Amino acid sequence: MFGILHSQTNLLMSISAFLLTLVPFTKEELEDILSHFKKETVSKNKVLVSQGDICNYLYFLEEGMARSYYLNDSGKEITQWFFGVGKFMTSADSFFQQTPSLYYLETLEDCILYSISKSQIDMLFDKYPKMEKLGRLATTEMLTKIVNKLNAIQFQTARERYEYMLAEFPDIAYHVPLGHIASYLGMTQETLSRIRKNNSQK
Amino acid sequence: MFGILHSQTNLLMSISAFLLTLVPFTKEELEDILSHFKKETVSKNKVLVSQGDICNYLYFLEEGMARSYYLNDSGKEITQWFFGVGKFMTSADSFFQQTPSLYYLETLEDCILYSISKSQIDMLFDKYPKMEKLGRLATTEMLTKIVNKLNAIQFQTARERYEYMLAEFPDIAYHVPLGHIASYLGMTQETLSRIRKNNSQK
DNA sequence: GATATCATTTGACCAATATCAAATAATGAA
DNA sequence: TTCATTATTTGATATTGGTCAAATGATATC
């Protein structure tokens, strides 16, 4: 079968470009802030944080994709969120409250990450009020996105939820295993498979 | 039938007590901050913000209860969140981005509210880094609660979702119309009625 | 390239919950 | 109190999506 071409937007987003979209840091501030992030490359399917760990780092995803997931009562992996290029990623509760993480964080592709520890970012929060603003704005954005997902999950049919997925994560939807998406959307992979089949026939 | 006694905890929570649980403001800071909030009493079933309005105020709920809701495609009211004593309430997106609100805000009981405008709170954000921290912490708390709801909605049966409601909003669950709760939990009110019946028989 | 492993698709059947309609109960206004 | 209105409950039936099992397809390793 001839494949459908899926757009590959946003292959890369530098952390400084991203920070500047939220808050107008000066060159000096930005340099100081960035000096506390550590660049690392991580290969595909690596678990960065396990359920029960304290999540010690906040990550910025310059390249690649990742997900958070947890194990439900039957031990099945439930994808909780996808992270794409140009996004912050962490197990938020665990990182900010320094409590055991409820989630795993796992790369889904080879990734280039910038990481920062809790103590370092707290130091930056104290040093720069603009960093508090950044934190607030980033959190507010996440809140909005989660509310969107909630509305999709709560009131839409399985097919409509898949359409939400395509809209929210266009880069990711065609590049990760079906089962990850199905559990993210709260349906079985059999159901998602049937939806995809019907969509492609239309 | 003899009614079950439902606990009435947290009948009142002062705004200063609440702020101090999140950030250690000094007496002077607190006084300055509170001077920008305006106390108002609002009677039951008043709409504070309508869908399409810009939400101009952030409210703190000292007494009473309220909800946010929207109208779905069929024009049915869907409760999106409940707000109880000691909580901040606003149409977050609309207030912070000054965009038309997707939601209505409506009191469910007579309320005592403290309101503050966007420009005033922005002024406080600029004046006090601790206010940015307050904003970040309050938003993070909200984020955690919404993730909880999402997990309940996504993976639990109708009965388990109702149990989540009782745990998250014990003060509210027995004091608002059934239909508000049913739409909040993503089920019909017939289903919720049957669940309550079964629970009371156990 | 052959084979083992893992991911996806397909089919048959079932359970949970929605829908629609009507009866009953509760509430509030005159 | 009485009546009108609104909220809740109940019953019958329909539908969506889940479960289980098996077949097919894709991928990676030797």
Residue B61 inside a domain? The answer is yes
**B150–A155: do the CB atoms touch at under 8 Å?**
no
Residue B10 inside a domain? The answer is no
Residue B190 inside a domain? The answer is yes
- Tokens at B185, concatenated: 């939990």
Count of pairs with CB atoms under 8 A, one residue in A, one in B: 63
Reply yes or no on whether the pLDDT at B7 is more than 50.
Answer: no
Lowest mean pLDDT among A57-61, B39-43, B46-50, B70-74: B70-74
Q: Is the CB of B186 under 7 A from strand C?
A: yes
Report the run of H or E that residue B41 belongs to, with start and end: strand B38-42
Residue B91, classed as helix, strand or coil, is coil
Chain A residues within an 8 Å CB radius of B118:
none
Q: Is the CB of A153 under 7 A from strand D?
A: no
A161 interface with B at CB cutoff 8 Å: no
- Which residue in the set A93, A129, A146 is minimally distant from B150, CB to CB? A146
Cα B122 to Cα B131: distance, rounded to the nearest angstrom: 9
Q: Is the CB of B200 under 7 A from strand D?
A: no
B140 interface with A at CB cutoff 8 Å: yes
pLDDT in tens, B166-182: 999 998 999 999 999 99
**Residue B115 pairs with which residues in a beta bridge?**
B38, B59
Cα B187 to Cα B158: distance, rounded to the nearest angstrom: 7
Please list, in sequence order, all residues whose beta carbon lies within 8 angstroms of the beta carbon of residue B179, skipping any fewer than 6 positions away.
Answer: B77, B189
Average pLDDT over residues A167-182: 93
Q: Whole-number Å distance, CA B153 to C1' D1?
A: 46
Longest dimension (CA), chain B: 57
Q: Considering only alpha carbons, which residue of chain A is nearest residue B74?
A: A155
Residue A97 inside a domain? The answer is yes
Residue A73 is predicted with a pLDDT of 76
Q: Is the CB of B179 under 7 A from strand D?
A: yes
Residue B154 inside a domain? The answer is yes
pLDDT in tens, A119-143: 999 999 999 989 988 988 888 888 8
Residue B1 is predicted with a pLDDT of 26
DSSP string, chain A: -PPPP-----S---HHHHHHHHS---HHHHHHHHHTSEEEEE-TT-EEE-TTSB--EEEEEEES-EEEEEE-TTS-EEEEEEE-TTEEE--HHHHHHT-B-SSEEEESS-EEEEEEEHHHHHHHHHH-HHHHHHHHHHHHHHHHHHHHHHHHHHHS-HHHHHHHHHHH-HHHHTTS-HHHHHHHTTS-HHHHHHHHHHHHH-
**Contact (Cβ atoms closer than 8 angstroms) between residue B107 and residue B66:** yes
Number of domains in chain B: 1
**Contact (Cβ atoms closer than 8 angstroms) between residue B13 and residue B62:** yes
For residue B95, the tally of other CB atoms under 10 A from its CB is 22
- Which residue in the set A72, A139, A150 is minimally distant from B153, CB to CB? A150
B200 interface with A at CB cutoff 8 Å: no
Q: Considering only alpha carbons, which residue of chain A is nearest residue B125?
A: A133
Report the run of H or E that residue B38 belongs to, with start and end: strand B38-42
DSSP string, B97-166: HT-B-SSEEEESS-EEEEEEEHHHHHHHHHH-HHHHHHHHHHHHHHHHHHHHHHHHHHHS-HHHHHHHHH
Q: Which domain holds residue A101?
A: 15-201
- Identify the CATH number of the domain in which residue B168 sits: 2.60.120.10
Bases of chain D within 7 A of a CB of the protein: 7-12, 16-21, 26
Residue A6 inside a domain? The answer is no
Residue B130 inside a domain? The answer is yes
**pLDDT band with cut points at 50, 70 and 90 for residue B13:** confident
Reply yes or no on whether the pLDDT at A2 is more than 50.
Answer: no
Q: Considering only alpha carbons, which residue of chain B is nearest residue A78?
A: B155
Residue A37 inside a domain? The answer is yes
Residue B68, classed as helix, strand or coil, is strand
Cα A96 to Cα A121: distance, rounded to the nearest angstrom: 10
Q: Whole-number Å distance, CA B136 to C1' D9?
A: 44
CA distances from B163 to A48, A73, B3, B158, B167 (A): 33, 17, 19, 9, 6
Reply yes or no on whether the pLDDT at B6 is more than 80.
Answer: no
- Which residue in the set B133, B144, B146 is minimally distant from A147, CB to CB? B146
**Contact (Cβ atoms closer than 8 angstroms) between residue A81 and residue A141:** no
**Residue B104 pairs with which residues in a beta bridge?**
B69
Lowest mean pLDDT among A35-39, A196-200, B77-81, B157-161: A196-200
Chain A residues within an 8 Å CB radius of B135:
132, 136
- Cα dihedral B81, A150, B58, B128 in deg (nearest 10): 130
**B147–A144: do the CB atoms touch at under 8 Å?**
no
B86 interface with A at CB cutoff 8 Å: no
Q: Is the CB of B179 under 7 A from strand C?
A: no
B150 interface with A at CB cutoff 8 Å: yes
Residue B147 is predicted with a pLDDT of 87
Residue A10 is predicted with a pLDDT of 57
List the one residue out of A108, A128, A105, A109 whose CA is nearest residue A35.
A128
Q: Is the CB of B159 under 7 A from strand C?
A: yes
**Contact (Cβ atoms closer than 8 angstroms) between residue A54 and residue A93:** no
Average pLDDT over residues B12-28: 93
Cβ burial, residue B104 (10 Å; 0-12/13-18/19+): buried
Q: Is the CB of A177 under 7 A from strand D?
A: no
Reply yes or no on whether the pLDDT at A202 is more than 50.
Answer: no
